[in-house]
Amino acid sequence: MFILNSNNSIANQFLSDLRDINIQKDRFKFRKNLERLGEIMAYEISKCMDYDSVEIETPLKKTKVKRLTNSPVLISVLRAALPFYQGFINYFDHSDSGFVGAYRKEEKSAKKDIEIDFLYQAAPNIEGKEVILIDPMLATGKSFIKTIQHLLVNGKPKMIHIACVIASPEGVSYIQKNLDIPYKLWLGALDENLNENFYIVPGLGDAGDLSFGNKL
């Protein structure tokens, strides 16, 4: 498990701005900081991928360089992940992309648990490929597991990289207990816990609403 804010870097500034209730009022900046963190996370994930040595010709001579053997498949969870996903596609610009709609059911009555609805999937073949599953918040972990179960209809990947900005220990534990295919966790920050409404504390609020406006 990789945790970005465990080391000092400019990423901590972007994380701080995402959480700050005063800076959050600027939707453009909120989306931009998610995009920046997506780029940083893409760079970190790229370090563990396979590369081939190829020969290219510069204006002066031929030389050997390293290039990705295969671009990963990027999967974005609508809608909150879109700015975060943009950072990944900026760096993995040759990648195929897929989009899924998975979200928690909002119940007015008190419940001991939450349910996840999965309503949409448009994804490419992922057989034998490295897949990056992109969603800014890892709360209970249930939407990630449900999404992966649906994605497996399109093939069994070589590796799934689960990339999120903020995670809860409960969500991480749920994934560790329920995912039995090769995976790696890439987190911006691992927060304290989930509250009684299953929201991450201290977290940052609803990333989708902060990016695009409140939903009905």
Q: What is the pLDDT of residues 177-216, one digit of tens each?
A: 999 999 999 999 999 999 998 999 999 999 999 999 998 7
Residue pLDDT, tens place only, 18-30: 999 999 999 999 9
The two tokens of residue 91 are: 């760096």
pTM across the whole model = 0.93
The domains of the chain, with CATH numbers, are: 2-212 (3.40.50.2020)
pLDDT the model gives residue 113: 67
DSSP assigned state of 153: G
Mean pLDDT of the chain: 93
pLDDT the model gives residue 109: 44
Angstrom distance (rounded) from CA 213 to CA 93: 28
Residue pLDDT, tens place only, 75-134: 999 889 999 999 999 999 999 999 998 776 665 444 566 676 777 899 999 999 999 999
